[in-house]
Structure 1
Amino acid sequence: MASPLLLTAGALFVLYWANYTRALLRNIAAAKASGIAYVVLPWNPFYTFWLASYQIWLPLLQKLPASWTSPWLLFMNPEWTYLHGHAPFEKMGSDCILTVSSGRLQLYIADAEVITQVTTRRNDFPKPLQMYKRLDIYGKNVVSTEGATWRQHRKMTAPSFTEKNNELVFKETLHHGQALVRLWTGESRRESRTIQDSATDTMRFALYVISSAGFDVRVLWSHEEKENTGGANSVGSTAPPGHKLSYRDAISSLLENILWTQVFPKWVLENSPFEWHKELNTAVTEWGKYMEDMYEARKREVISGHSSAASGLDLFGALISRSGIASTASDSKTPDSLSKSDILGNGFVFTLAGHETTANALNFSLIYLALNRPQQQHLQADIDAALGGKPIAQWTYDADFPPLFGSMPAAVMNETLRLIPPVINIPKCTPADRPQPVTTNATGGRRVCIPANATVSLSCAAVHKNPRYWPTAAGLPQGTDGVHDVELFRPERWLLRSKPAAANASSTAAHVDETYDDDDMAGPSGADVSAALFKPEKGAYIPFSEGYRSCLGRRFSQVELCAVLALIFRDYSVELAVEEWASDEEVERMGVAERREVWGKAARRADGLLKTALTSIITLQMRGERVPIRLVRRGAERFLG
């Protein structure tokens, strides 16, 4: 006679299997009715257990016969759009693919027309807020809200991103960019040092820029601190009274471990016996205290009317000024303003989004340029033409950003973001009770219906490589060695004509802005791409998303990236470091052919890592691997062939 335990276990298994089968069949029926190409998966690839362990199981599943695992196994990798780009869509014969499991209907879109419909119908395709609730560490914000609450946050935050702030971004980028170059090239600015971890250094650079332009706090680099070159609003490595961590350590520790704040609620971190939990909780608490300090200081300055806060230069000051809090007797929330916690919540999101995306784009741009010497030389020529040899101290936002934004610096930035977007899939969803019809021109205007309660992913990594939308650079072949042109780093594809950068400067003013039903929600001025460059079809280029929920910091990032690229490549070239294969002395004795061979080894490794070693936590980054690079003075390059 079977034991009660076995009977119970058997009953639970039957119940689980019945529920699994019923849910899977229901979702398959919805997929069939949608008219969209679909693939059935054995389980939801976004289950927490699978996300935490798929790198263990996938290699085992890949050993099974292909007839058992095709086509579903490819879609079980959460990073599949980064790893495979548009190829799976081509294989399926559709630019929209539904994956179907018992627990989830997931639509991936690589169709620009459909993406545009999704981004412009914000009530039909809201954000899945459950994915963002843990960003409310310090308060609600423009990223983690929807509906009327989001409108209120958007109206208050969007106008903070002004031309005045862009001017400040340009100025602070030049300051911290010079400090970064000094870190990499020594006091003489002529040392050729191997930079083992450029990603960490670019993270620090971008964090310092957002600190200056976002909070009016200038973080000192180590050499600045030693030289005591800071001013009244400068902070260094020492924790001030009342703090356990320095400003720099608090925000760096928090951002480096931000994933775990999404996994563990604050009460878990506060009560955990693990030391690293305690350290993270300290960072969360300390950064909150720093934001409180900055909030109170900026509020007093706004009230006084005698500071940059009152004139809206830095984001935090502009937000406080616009919120109306400074004109009220208390910090209580009124119908037309944000509360103190809302302002702190948005300040945190500004910091999180404003540094990681830009830092990654700069780091990957350096690697791509090290791999592509002709494009690097083209970049340097355009910088020379745009700036005319002016010393950095004479560069200004009004005079010098437009020609940079209309030539190779912007083309390099755009091409890097095309190949490695900050996020590979921008999440949306459909309401639980309302399927959503869309039309795609890719299938002759056929109308399909996205099922209700589906997760919708705007697949940046796939639409950015959809051959329908991307031209081949003039005079270049469609591809090399069997690799299609869309997979290659070719910033020239963005150049409309081969005129000097300065000649294109005036055309950058011809932006085509987004159209909004409320001017207060418009956010940053200017289009995603300069009018002097190739303009992709709407919905085909979405590194900053698109529509009402597009990234407020788009122009902030564009100004920062164009300025720092110009600063670096005006005087320097970037090369792959080759110490793994040859010492400096050995390279010095090599001829052209030998140098080409050793550089080729470094290039193959770097190219392979760019294609396979990136993973997503919040943004797409290279984790656990590094591509060492060097800055060398222009004219002293070792690998020219």
Structure 2
Amino acid sequence: MLSLLHMFLALSALPSALVLWTLRDLGRNYAKAQSIGLPVTVRFVTPGGPLWMIFSPLVVRIATYLPFTKSFITKYRRGWECRERYRAHEEHGELFTICTPGGNYVKISNFDVADDILKRKDEFGRDLEAFAVLNIYGKNLATTEGKEWMRHRKVAAVTFTEKNAELVWGEALKEASQMLEYWRDRAKKPIRTLAQDTQIFSLNVLAAALFDRSYPFEGREESEAREQAIGANAKNGAFGYRESIATILHMIVPIMVFGEKKLRESWWLPKGWQKAGYAVANFRDYVTHLINEERVAIAQGATSSANLVTNLVRACEDESSGSLKTDNSTGSKAILTKDEIISDLFVFAFAGNDTTALTLAYILAELAAHPAMQDWISEEIRYYTRTEDVTRWDYAVCTKLKRCWAVMYETLRLSHPISQFVKNTGAEQRAITHKGRTHIVPSHTTVEINTPSLSSMPSHWGPESLEWNPKRFIKPVSGFEDEVLPPDTTPQFFPWAYNRLVCPGKRFSQAELVGALAALFRDHRVEPVPETGESMQDACRRVKRMSEDIEQRLLSEIREPTKIALRWYKATR
């Protein structure tokens, strides 16, 4: 009896100790937050904690069914910045501090302060802990700083070329045409697989850009049926790659928490998690094989292709005078080891797939809710493309489709998959000046540039800053060729970052998204499917509301995409 009592007391002490520990850390961090001199708001959960990343969607979903939880959901749902946009800064100020048990977060919504922080690269480094989830295959462009980052960046800069963007353009046109055919002829009606299908589209385009492998578009159900028909051990390399990278991207948080080996060997984990462990190994084997193939091609003097594996391997060969390093040592030249090439290729796949797929899903949902905008871009597409045959659309057409670019700009302005530029003060305190007052930010403090707020502030974007209106980026003139599109990167609008941090794959994503829009909307339109008793106008308003109901998993995405029901049809002329 006494032993049972002791066991009960011990078990009871665990949550009490956790609460006390949390309150102790929160108190320490609150004192540090107050010392900065900015408004302070408290959160009792650390947003970047692995367990909260895994379980927060479930916790918040349960909270939606409970009374008096609106404030909790607003503050604790991951990605709240995308939902709230400038409103939190309207309440707390352009700069304020969020205090949590795991550390403090200084939120920035001021262009001058943001620009100053981004320029002071030696004082405000990237928060590498926030990017540790991408270290599946080791260090890479996203998870390094200083000289090591420069080594990765130098190689990446010559990896993404206009030839590669041209390859992406052609593949995006082909894949989007096939996706449209699927939506019109083979998909279940109404279509509720928007997010799934745009991910498959992006994976296929990515496969062509990375490996020069071109695969036909197929829906998720078609893919599963094909796999069952040919058997688990008879997968060809094309779909083996696609399934591996898709599994890794979907399960990246459990992979980070448990690691590849434990996921494979732990019988008690869900089968989907075990599958993720094997997917990590499969992707490594697949890329290693391609790297070895490319090294043989280089030795034989074969003509280079425009894909990223070729470009990356050849860039390393050129820098090392023909000898690709196989160890993990670092030298003065911008050369990567084989493991680093694999890791960088994974990061390219991560950045090039999820961000583009999510953005395309946002775009299509917004266009479905705004039929007039579909006509607006279709007029331009038809003007520059005289034939329905997408294989005859030259890459030069891409930059001429300014209205399609404006749709891409406006969607990224309001619904960007990456909501924060995350920096850290490092080992020393740093000074931030705002409106003539200097604030001293303690060491090891996270500083986040809140892009959803910067991209929606009425003071800069006007009183209708929360309205999705691509025409704001086009100066109205008499003809298509005279229309003017602003730069894609400025200190006031930087969806691909800017200066030294500009995304090396910027042109890659632009060609892919514009190509998709051109193929989809030249001759076709999409509309919401109204629910029972709902008018088309009501359906458009509902789809717009749902497309902007965003939740952050690893990136920010539409919270319930399967509730958006769409229908595609041929436009009448």
Task: Normalising by structure 1, report the TM-score.
Answer: 0.77
Whole-angstrom CA distance in 2 between matches of 1:81 and 1:36: 18
Aligned counterpart in structure 2 of residue 314 of structure 1, from 296, 300, 307: 307
Question: Residue in 2 aligned with 1:409?
Answer: 404
Question: Residue in 1 aligned with 2:391?
Answer: 393
Question: Residue in 1 aligned with 2:437?
Answer: 446
Aligned counterpart in structure 2 of residue 380 of structure 1, from 362, 378, 381: 378
Q: Aligned letter for 2:46?
A: N
Unaligned 5+ segments in structure 1 are: 227-235, 472-477, 479-484, 505-531, 583-596, 637-641
Whole-angstrom CA distance in 1 between matches of 2:39 and 2:330: 48
8 Å CA contact 1:470, 1:536 repeated in 2: no
Q: 1:563 to 1:277 in 2, by over 3 A?
A: closer
Q: Aligned letter for 1:81?
A: E
Question: Residue in 1 aligned with 2:543?
Answer: 606
Range with greater deviation from structure 2 (126-135 or 9-18): 9-18
Question: Residue in 1 aligned with 2:123?
Answer: 124
8 Å CA contact 1:192, 1:631 repeated in 2: no
8 Å CA contact 1:99, 1:106 repeated in 2: yes
8 Å CA contact 2:170, 2:391 repeated in 1: no
Q: Deviations over 1:243-288 (max 9, x none)?
A: 8973333333333333322232112112110432332222222121
Question: Residue in 2 aligned with 1:106?
Answer: 105
The alignment status of 1:503 with 2:501, answered yes or no, reads no
Question: Residue in 1 aligned with 2:185?
Answer: 186
Q: 1:44 to 1:326 in 2, by over 3 A?
A: same
Question: Residue in 2 aligned with 1:30?
Answer: 32
Q: Deviations over 1:277-324 (max 9, x none)?
A: 332222222121111111111222223332334xxx111111100112
Q: 1:242 to 1:461 in 2, by over 3 A?
A: closer
Aligned counterpart in structure 2 of residue 617 of structure 1, from 554, 557, 564: 554
8 Å CA contact 2:261, 2:277 repeated in 1: no
Give the secondary structure class of the aligned counterpart of 2:125.
coil
8 Å CA contact 1:244, 1:286 repeated in 2: no
Aligned counterpart in structure 2 of residue 327 of structure 1, from 293, 317, 322: 322
Whole-angstrom CA distance in 2 between matches of 1:15 and 1:364: 44
Q: Once the two structures are aligned, what percentage of the paired residues are identical?
A: 26
Q: 1:98 to 1:269 in 2, by over 3 A?
A: same
8 Å CA contact 1:419, 1:489 repeated in 2: yes
Q: 1:240 to 1:17 in 2, by over 3 A?
A: closer
Question: Residue in 2 aligned with 1:267?
Answer: 261
Whole-angstrom CA distance in 2 between matches of 1:124 and 1:15: 37
Whole-angstrom CA distance in 2 between matches of 1:214 and 1:329: 19
Q: Aligned letter for 1:39?
A: T
Whole-angstrom CA distance in 2 between matches of 1:168 and 1:362: 19
Aligned length: 551
Q: Aligned letter for 2:466?
A: E
Question: Residue in 2 aligned with 1:468?
Answer: 459
Q: CA deviation at 1:381?
A: 1.6
Q: 1:303 to 1:60 in 2, by over 3 A?
A: same
Q: CA deviation at 1:16?
A: 7.2
8 Å CA contact 1:153, 1:338 repeated in 2: yes
8 Å CA contact 2:325, 2:337 repeated in 1: no
The alignment status of 1:459 with 2:450, answered yes or no, reads yes
Q: CA deviation at 1:387?
A: 3.3
Q: 1:330 to 1:35 in 2, by over 3 A?
A: closer
8 Å CA contact 1:28, 1:100 repeated in 2: yes
Question: Residue in 1 aligned with 2:80?
Answer: 80
Q: Aligned letter for 2:172?
A: T
Task: Normalising by structure 2, report the TM-score.
Answer: 0.86
Q: Deviations over 1:519-560 (max 9, x none)?
A: xxxxxxxxxxxxx32459944333323332332211110111
Q: 1:463 to 1:62 in 2, by over 3 A?
A: farther
Whole-angstrom CA distance in 2 between matches of 1:83 and 1:212: 34
Higher helix proportion: 2
Question: Residue in 2 aligned with 1:561?
Answer: 513
Q: Aligned letter for 1:319?
A: L
8 Å CA contact 1:170, 1:563 repeated in 2: yes
Question: Residue in 2 aligned with 1:592?
Answer: none
Q: CA deviation at 1:369?
A: 0.8
Q: CA deviation at 1:22?
A: 5.6
After the TM superposition, which residues 86-485 of structure 1 pair with which residues of structure 2 at under 5 Å, given as runs? 86-92=86-92, 94-186=93-185, 194-221=190-217, 246-273=240-267, 274=269, 275-309=271-305, 313-324=306-317, 327-328=322-323, 331-332=326-327, 333=329, 335=331, 336=333, 337-388=335-386, 391-397=389-395, 399-404=396-401, 407-432=402-427, 434-440=428-434, 443=435, 445-471=436-462, 478=463, 485=464
Unaligned 5+ segments in structure 2 are: 223-229
Whole-angstrom CA distance in 1 between matches of 2:264 and 2:232: 24
Q: CA deviation at 1:346?
A: 0.7
Aligned counterpart in structure 2 of residue 581 of structure 1, from 515, 523, 532: 532
Q: 1:32 to 1:302 in 2, by over 3 A?
A: same
Whole-angstrom CA distance in 2 between matches of 1:379 and 1:13: 57
CA RMSD of aligned residues (A): 3.4
Whole-angstrom CA distance in 2 between matches of 1:217 and 1:34: 53
Q: 1:245 to 1:631 in 2, by over 3 A?
A: closer
Q: CA deviation at 1:400?
A: 1.0
Whole-angstrom CA distance in 1 between matches of 2:194 and 2:65: 34
Q: CA deviation at 1:342?
A: 0.5
Question: Residue in 1 aligned with 2:571?
Answer: 634
Q: Aligned letter for 1:380?
A: S
Aligned counterpart in structure 1 of residue 492 of structure 2, from 521, 530, 540: 540
Q: CA deviation at 1:413?
A: 0.5
Q: Deviations over 1:412-444 (max 9, x none)?
A: 001111111012223221113x2222233xx3x
Q: Deviations over 1:328-382 (max 9, x none)?
A: 2763356121100000111111111111111111121111111112222111122
Question: Residue in 2 aligned with 1:510?
Answer: none
